[in-house]
A and B are shown apart, each in its own frame.
Chain A
Amino acid sequence: MDRQQNQAERLWRARLARVLHGPHAHAIFRIALPLAIILILFSPAPAQKKSSCIECHVKLEDTRLSAPAKLFDNDIHRGRGLSCNDCHGGDPNADTKESAKDPGKGYLGKPKTADIPAYCGKCHSDANLMKRFNPSLRVDQEREYYTSVHGKLLKTGEQRVATCVSCHSVHGIRAISDPLSSVYPSNVAETCSKCHGSADYMRGFGIPSDQFDKYKKSVHANAIYVKQDLSAPTCNDCHGNHGASPPGIASVANVCGTCHGRQAELFQVSPHKAAFDQRQFGECIKCHSNHFIAKPGDEMIGTGERSVCITCHTAGDKGFIAAGLMRGRIDELMGSIDKSAEILTRAERAGMEVSRPKFEMKEATDALTHARVLIHSSSTVEVDKVVAPGLAASAKGYQAGVGALAERSFRRKGLAVSLVFILFLAVLVYLKVKQIESRPTT
């Protein structure tokens, strides 16, 4: 056998030597070599590794079985070189169903709902493994999941709770930065509402199912859907994502405070803090509600019909008086700003240069914004501290407007006087010309 192999090798070497050193060697190098380079450069990319799972499933008539194979085309895992067997086990090189799904080859099949977090966590909780794909990706999702209401219920044996695939989908999982992903910021609320928006599905859990309908009307939804501001909060920003739970009454201000920091800080030191805690009110949501958080307006404070203060305070009590005073100061500043803006606009339309006072009016509008934030301190003194300089800045703007209009008036009067003088001069010269021209020429 060895002798036969040696003989074949010698024969192959001799043929190669004839080709390389023979009379046609030059032509071979001139034609074959460039041809080979072209073939290498333009040959199709090597085929992906075999997956008998996809080959078979994609042809199946039962869409329940063919859909995963089709969806997997757009799955982020496929893009990272993973295939069916990396999650489900089995042998993707096998040509028969039995061999491919041989439990002896580690075939796991479809995981039970209760096993899904661990199934995904097999890789996603492994820091060493995940570093290979995305070093900045968190690996505590599984652990955090079990702190969520979903995770806790799952542990009790409840099957109708969200697991990884409920939110991220399955087989067609996309990166969260992909606008088509079910957990892309503008898709999150809709994804959560698949379960939380269904009264039938949520029956038995003792929570409402109108959150999404309310959220859609909120200032936050307007920011994310209309203004396309992806930083605006959606469900997971307040409830957490993997550790999703309703914030406790004591922690609402902290949750809202992640964005509205100054308001939360003021609330914590306000007399409302102790009173709310005592009455078990949910801090921010007591006045602003939770899912349907409307755009706040000045009408929310004070003693008017639409004021939220009067839900607790009654005429004559300390809070009622403070609410009325704060509203009064804010109205005063706003009225002053409107008056100044109006006169400055009038002066500008008259062609006067008022860009500087208009710019300086920002001090007053900033004060108004600040005062609106300071009402969270429930302190009329604090509100006054910013309203007073705001009123001064606004008054300065108003004076600039009055000055500009007075200047315009002065200019017009000056023009009238000048024109009379100019015309008089022109008439005088004209009469002089006539006088000269009436003289007889010599």
Chain B
Amino acid sequence: MKIEAIRAWIDERLSISTLTAMAQKKEVPVHRHSIWYYFGGMTLFLFVVQVVTGILLLLYYRPSAETAFESVQFIITEVPFGWLIRSIHSWSANLLIGTLFIHMFSVFFMKAYRSPREITWVTGALLLFIFLGFGFSGYLLPWNKLAFFATKVGTDIAGVIPGVGHFMLRFLRGGDDVTGATLTRFYGFHVAVLPAITTVLLGVHALLVQLHGMSVPPGLAGKSVKKMKFVPNFLLRDLIGWILAIGVLAALAALFPWELGEKADAFASAPAGIKPEWYFLFMFETLKLVPAKILTVDGEVIAILAFSLGGMAWVLVPFFDKATTGRRRSLAFTIAGLVIVTYMVAMTVYGFVM
């Protein structure tokens, strides 16, 4: 009786029953491509893992050139289970980018961005760039040698952009060189700026997914498709994935603890074979292979401009792909997507092999 009274009190103020009723009504289409629906939820789960482990790391992390490395060293050697939290944070970040790519390309190939889900796609694509930003800024935070030089190379690339390049470089670095100022700046991006933007974008993205429901591929549009309830069927299936993800993260952290490396030293020479994180590798290898000059213009500038324009075009894909509507799908966009995926995978593998 007492519990019922509390529930009624809360419901009167927050309309929980309305939300519960909505959730009860929500259904997920069941077809041979349904497996791809789970990657959005998996990405969201890994993001939650990032938030929780990130907050725990903040309890001990000290963001300055003098203390960052030592504080991470302290976390992984002295703090009880600090090694686990730090390793899970690093591994989960990488898995998150992986599931994010899978989610994005599955949405692309299933043409789930078609009307009326354009904004859902745009917010999702923007979230990809935000998460790449999380990866880039977080990589520097342990202030180790590899991260230091990778950041140097990464910000150098930003500096090549015509017009705004120099400003971008100085803005990112907090000066002309990668220093303690860069570290505190990246820390600010990583724990304040990017999470704030993510909250907004993720909120809109999740709201729109609820509003429009799950999209079915064009081939099944208009056909009678079997459905399952979101609560509890789909959610419980999601839960199985999340539980298994915890197992995978625990295994990776225990068997392959994320290395700390050597403390960054601005006066040391760059380590041989320096590479960025795997998700930037395809761009890095492209920049290395591009000719120094293409018709009197710096090849690097052209490549960076091409990536920037490609990124913008990717965000706006739903507005370019007018051919995909209802049951019709644009073959040109499917082929373009396949070329992009093949190129990214090939260049990433090439980067690892070389």
Interface residues of A (CB under 8 A from B): 351-353, 355-356, 411-412, 414-415, 418-419, 422-423, 425-426, 429-430, 432-433, 436-437
Please list 14 pairs of residues, one from A and one from B, whose beta carbons are closer than 8 Å in the complex, sorted by A's number.
A351-B257, A351-B259, A352-B257, A411-B254, A412-B255, A415-B251, A419-B250, A422-B250, A429-B240, A430-B240, A433-B233, A436-B232, A436-B233, A436-B236
Which secondary structure characterizes the binding site on chain B? helix
B254 / chain A contacts, CB cutoff of 8 Å: 411-412, 414-415
Given A356-B77, A415-B254, residue A422 in contact with residue B243 (CB < 8 A):
yes
Q: A414-B254, A415-B254, A419-B250 are in contact. Are A353 and B240 (CB under 8 A)?
A: no
Q: Indicate if B73 sits at the interface (CB-CB under 8 A).
A: yes
A418 to B73, Cβ gap below 8 A?
Answer: no
Q: Which residues of A contact B243 (CB under 8 A)?
A: 422, 425-426, 429
Closest 10 pairs (CB-CB, A-B): A415-B254, A422-B247, A411-B254, A351-B257, A426-B243, A433-B236, A353-B76, A429-B240, A426-B240, A418-B250
Query: Chain B residues with Cβ under 8 A from A422's Cβ?
Result: 243-244, 246-247, 250
For B164-202 the 0/1 string (1 means CB < 8 A from A) is 000000000000000000000000000000000000000
Interface flag for B83 (CB, 8 Å) = yes
If A419-B247, A422-B247 touch, whether A353 touches B236 (CB-CB below 8 Å) is no
**Chain B positions 237 through 266: 1 when the CB is less than 8 Å from some CB of chain A, otherwise 0:** 101100110110011001111011010000
- Chain A residues with Cβ below 8 Å from B251 are 415, 419
In the bound assembly, the distance between CA atoms of A437 and B77 in angstroms comes to: 47
Q: Which of A412, A419, A423 has the most CB of B within 10 A?
A: A419
Q: How far is the CA of A99 from the CA of B271 in the complex (A)?
A: 70
* Bound complex: CA A423 to CA B244 (Å): 7
Q: What's the nearest-Cβ distance from chain A to residue B158, in Å?
A: 31
Consensus secondary structure, chain A interface:
helix
- Chain B residues within 8 Å of A418, by CB: 247, 250
Minimum distance in angstroms from A413 CB to a CB of chain B: 9
User: Across the interface, which residues of B come within 8 angstroms of A436, CB to CB?
Assistant: 232-233, 236
Tell me the complex Cα distance, A234–B260, Å: 45
Q: Are B257 and A353 in contact (CB under 8 A)?
A: yes
Closest to A407 in B: B83
A382 CA to B347 CA, complexed, in Å: 62
Docked pose: A418 CA to B255 CA in angstroms = 13
Which chain B residue has the least Cβ–Cβ distance from A357? B77
Least CB distance from B258 to A in Å reads 9
Q: Name the B residues within 8 Å of A353 (CB-CB).
A: 73, 76-77, 83, 257, 260
Q: Which residues from B are CB-within-8-Å of A437?
A: 228, 233
Contacts of B73 in A (CB 8 A): 353, 355-356
Q: Is the CB of B236 within 8 A of A432?
A: yes
Decide if A415 touches B255 in the complex (CB within 8 Å).
yes
Task: Give the docked Cα–Cα distance between A359 and B233 (Å).
Answer: 55
Q: How far is the CA of A429 from the CA of B76 in the complex (A)?
A: 33
A423–B247 CB distance below 8 A: yes
- Within 8 Å by CB of A351, from B77, B228, B239, B256, lies B256
Given A353-B83, A419-B251, A437-B233: 16 more A-B contacts, CB < 8 Å: A351-B256, A353-B73, A355-B260, A356-B73, A412-B254, A414-B254, A415-B255, A418-B247, A418-B250, A419-B250, A422-B246, A426-B240, A426-B244, A429-B243, A430-B240, A436-B236
Known: A356-B77, A426-B244. A415 touches B250 (CB 8 A): yes
Contact between chains at A429 and B236 (CB < 8 Å): yes
What chain B residues lie within 8 Å of A411 (beta carbons)?
Answer: 83-84, 254
Question: How near does chain B come to A159, taking the closest CB pair, in angstroms?
Answer: 56
Residues of A close to B236: CB separation below 8 A: 429, 432-433, 436
B260 touches A429 (CB 8 A): no
